[in-house]
Amino acid sequence: MISFILNGVPKEVDVEPEMPLLWVLREELGMRGTKFGCGIAQCGACTVHVDGSPVRSCVMPVTAIAGKKIKTIEALGDAQNPHPIQQAWLDHQVPQCGYCQSGMQMTAAALLEEKPSPTDEDINKAITNICRCGCYERIRAAIHDAAKVQRAKAPKVVPTGETQDGAAPEGSAEPQKQDAEEKP
Protein backbone atom coordinates (compact mmCIF):
# COMPACT_ATOMS: atom_id res chain seq x y z
CA MET A 1 0.00 0.00 0.00
CA ILE A 2 1.21 3.47 -0.88
CA SER A 3 -0.17 6.35 1.19
CA PHE A 4 -0.28 10.04 0.28
CA ILE A 5 -2.50 13.10 0.57
CA LEU A 6 -4.53 13.89 -2.56
CA ASN A 7 -6.17 17.30 -2.67
CA GLY A 8 -6.21 17.39 1.13
CA VAL A 9 -7.63 13.86 1.58
CA PRO A 10 -5.53 10.88 2.79
CA LYS A 11 -5.39 8.12 0.17
CA GLU A 12 -3.96 4.61 -0.01
CA VAL A 13 -3.50 2.67 -3.22
CA ASP A 14 -2.49 -0.91 -3.80
CA VAL A 15 -0.80 -0.81 -7.20
CA GLU A 16 2.44 -1.87 -8.81
CA PRO A 17 5.24 0.31 -7.38
CA GLU A 18 6.44 1.50 -10.81
CA MET A 19 2.95 2.57 -11.95
CA PRO A 20 3.12 6.25 -13.01
CA LEU A 21 1.28 8.68 -10.77
CA LEU A 22 -0.75 9.83 -13.80
CA TRP A 23 -2.38 6.41 -14.17
CA VAL A 24 -2.96 6.08 -10.43
CA LEU A 25 -4.77 9.44 -10.48
CA ARG A 26 -6.82 8.74 -13.60
CA GLU A 27 -7.51 5.01 -13.49
CA GLU A 28 -7.37 4.11 -9.82
CA LEU A 29 -8.75 7.30 -8.24
CA GLY A 30 -10.94 8.71 -11.04
CA MET A 31 -9.19 12.11 -11.18
CA ARG A 32 -9.57 12.71 -14.93
CA GLY A 33 -8.56 16.39 -15.04
CA THR A 34 -4.87 15.47 -15.34
CA LYS A 35 -4.25 14.53 -18.97
CA PHE A 36 -1.98 12.10 -20.79
CA GLY A 37 -0.08 13.85 -23.54
CA CYS A 38 3.23 12.26 -24.40
CA GLY A 39 4.27 9.79 -21.70
CA ILE A 40 7.87 11.10 -21.67
CA ALA A 41 7.51 14.24 -19.50
CA GLN A 42 7.90 16.62 -22.43
CA CYS A 43 4.49 18.20 -23.04
CA GLY A 44 3.32 18.99 -19.48
CA ALA A 45 -0.34 17.99 -19.93
CA CYS A 46 0.08 15.70 -16.92
CA THR A 47 1.47 18.33 -14.54
CA VAL A 48 0.38 18.13 -10.89
CA HIS A 49 1.86 19.57 -7.71
CA VAL A 50 3.88 17.32 -5.42
CA ASP A 51 4.53 19.08 -2.12
CA GLY A 52 3.85 22.37 -3.92
CA SER A 53 6.18 21.82 -6.89
CA PRO A 54 5.00 21.10 -10.43
CA VAL A 55 5.93 17.62 -11.65
CA ARG A 56 5.14 15.62 -14.76
CA SER A 57 3.07 12.75 -13.41
CA CYS A 58 3.41 10.54 -16.49
CA VAL A 59 6.95 9.52 -15.50
CA MET A 60 6.68 9.82 -11.70
CA PRO A 61 6.44 6.33 -10.17
CA VAL A 62 3.78 6.23 -7.49
CA THR A 63 6.34 5.06 -4.92
CA ALA A 64 8.10 8.44 -5.27
CA ILE A 65 5.07 10.25 -3.84
CA ALA A 66 4.58 8.09 -0.74
CA GLY A 67 3.82 10.35 2.22
CA LYS A 68 3.65 13.49 0.05
CA LYS A 69 0.92 16.01 -0.73
CA ILE A 70 -0.46 15.85 -4.27
CA LYS A 71 -2.64 18.58 -5.76
CA THR A 72 -4.45 18.16 -9.06
CA ILE A 73 -6.41 20.58 -11.23
CA GLU A 74 -9.59 19.45 -9.46
CA ALA A 75 -8.38 21.21 -6.28
CA LEU A 76 -7.04 24.39 -7.89
CA GLY A 77 -10.44 26.08 -7.99
CA ASP A 78 -13.98 25.56 -9.21
CA ALA A 79 -16.67 27.39 -11.17
CA GLN A 80 -17.93 29.25 -8.09
CA ASN A 81 -14.47 30.10 -6.73
CA PRO A 82 -11.89 29.89 -9.52
CA HIS A 83 -8.20 30.27 -8.82
CA PRO A 84 -6.92 33.60 -10.23
CA ILE A 85 -5.07 31.70 -12.96
CA GLN A 86 -8.29 29.95 -14.01
CA GLN A 87 -10.21 33.23 -14.13
CA ALA A 88 -7.42 34.87 -16.13
CA TRP A 89 -7.51 31.93 -18.57
CA LEU A 90 -11.20 32.64 -19.16
CA ASP A 91 -10.73 36.42 -19.34
CA HIS A 92 -8.00 36.06 -21.98
CA GLN A 93 -9.75 33.23 -23.84
CA VAL A 94 -6.57 31.19 -23.60
CA PRO A 95 -7.71 27.70 -24.58
CA GLN A 96 -8.54 26.69 -28.10
CA CYS A 97 -8.60 22.89 -27.94
CA GLY A 98 -8.02 22.99 -24.17
CA TYR A 99 -6.16 19.70 -23.91
CA CYS A 100 -2.98 21.13 -22.36
CA GLN A 101 -4.79 23.55 -20.07
CA SER A 102 -4.93 21.60 -16.80
CA GLY A 103 -1.18 21.01 -16.85
CA MET A 104 -0.51 24.54 -18.06
CA GLN A 105 -2.63 26.01 -15.25
CA MET A 106 -0.95 23.85 -12.60
CA THR A 107 2.47 25.00 -13.82
CA ALA A 108 1.37 28.65 -13.87
CA ALA A 109 -0.15 28.41 -10.37
CA ALA A 110 3.12 26.97 -9.01
CA LEU A 111 5.06 29.78 -10.71
CA LEU A 112 2.88 32.41 -9.01
CA GLU A 113 3.42 30.77 -5.63
CA GLU A 114 7.18 30.96 -6.15
CA LYS A 115 7.27 34.35 -7.92
CA PRO A 116 4.27 36.59 -7.23
CA SER A 117 5.49 39.15 -9.80
CA PRO A 118 6.96 37.06 -12.63
CA THR A 119 8.73 38.68 -15.55
CA ASP A 120 8.31 37.45 -19.11
CA GLU A 121 11.65 35.67 -18.66
CA ASP A 122 10.38 33.94 -15.49
CA ILE A 123 7.27 32.80 -17.35
CA ASN A 124 9.29 31.54 -20.31
CA LYS A 125 11.54 29.52 -17.99
CA ALA A 126 8.66 28.04 -15.98
CA ILE A 127 6.16 27.32 -18.75
CA THR A 128 7.85 24.53 -20.63
CA ASN A 129 4.48 22.92 -21.32
CA ILE A 130 3.55 22.51 -24.96
CA CYS A 131 0.44 24.22 -26.32
CA ARG A 132 -0.17 22.74 -29.74
CA CYS A 133 -2.56 25.60 -30.55
CA GLY A 134 0.20 28.16 -29.95
CA CYS A 135 -1.62 30.30 -27.36
CA TYR A 136 1.60 31.38 -25.64
CA GLU A 137 1.00 35.16 -25.85
CA ARG A 138 -2.44 34.78 -24.24
CA ILE A 139 -0.97 32.42 -21.65
CA ARG A 140 1.70 34.99 -20.74
CA ALA A 141 -0.88 37.80 -20.50
CA ALA A 142 -3.15 35.63 -18.35
CA ILE A 143 -0.29 34.81 -15.97
CA HIS A 144 0.55 38.50 -15.58
CA ASP A 145 -3.11 39.35 -14.86
CA ALA A 146 -3.48 36.47 -12.38
CA ALA A 147 -0.33 37.69 -10.62
CA LYS A 148 -1.87 41.16 -10.22
CA VAL A 149 -5.06 39.67 -8.77
CA GLN A 150 -3.13 37.47 -6.33
CA ARG A 151 -0.97 40.37 -5.19
CA ALA A 152 -4.06 42.52 -4.63
CA LYS A 153 -5.64 39.76 -2.50
CA ALA A 154 -2.46 39.10 -0.48
CA PRO A 155 -2.52 40.39 3.09
CA LYS A 156 -0.53 43.56 3.59
CA VAL A 157 2.44 43.10 5.91
CA VAL A 158 3.00 46.08 8.17
CA PRO A 159 6.47 46.43 9.74
CA THR A 160 6.53 46.72 13.52
CA GLY A 161 6.30 50.31 14.68
CA GLU A 162 4.28 51.59 11.70
CA THR A 163 0.60 51.93 11.01
CA GLN A 164 -0.85 50.68 7.72
CA ASP A 165 -0.60 54.19 6.23
CA GLY A 166 3.17 54.23 6.87
CA ALA A 167 2.95 56.72 9.74
CA ALA A 168 4.91 56.27 12.94
CA PRO A 169 2.80 55.33 15.96
CA GLU A 170 1.35 58.18 18.04
CA GLY A 171 3.90 59.74 20.37
CA SER A 172 6.80 58.66 18.18
CA ALA A 173 9.36 61.17 16.97
CA GLU A 174 9.68 59.36 13.60
CA PRO A 175 8.46 61.37 10.59
CA GLN A 176 5.69 60.00 8.36
CA LYS A 177 6.66 58.33 5.11
CA GLN A 178 5.45 60.08 1.99
CA ASP A 179 3.67 58.22 -0.78
CA ALA A 180 5.18 58.53 -4.24
CA GLU A 181 2.20 60.66 -5.37
CA GLU A 182 2.77 63.16 -2.55
CA LYS A 183 6.35 63.94 -3.44
CA PRO A 184 6.94 67.29 -5.18
Q: CB–CB of 45/38 below 8 Å?
A: yes
Q: CB–CB of 48/106 below 8 Å?
A: yes
Question: Which pLDDT belongs to residue 160?
Answer: 67
Q: Is the pLDDT of residue 63 over 90?
A: yes
Give the predicted TM-score (pTM) of the model.
Answer: 0.83
Nearest Cα to Cα of residue 47 among 110, 95, 133, 98:
110
**Residue 124 vs residues 50, 107, 120, 143, 149: alpha-carbon distances, Å:** 21, 11, 6, 11, 20
Give residue limits of the domains in the chain. Answer: 1-75, 76-154
Residues in the chain: 184
Supply the CATH classification number for the domain 1-75: 3.10.20.30
128-171: pLDDT as tens digits: 999 999 999 999 999 999 999 999 988 877 666 554 555 544 54
Tell me which of 1.10.150.120, 1.10.3720.10, 2.60.120.10, 2.10.77.10 is the CATH number of domain 76-154: 1.10.150.120
Q: 3-state DSSP call for residue 44? A: coil
Task: Pick 142 or 178 by higher pLDDT.
Answer: 142
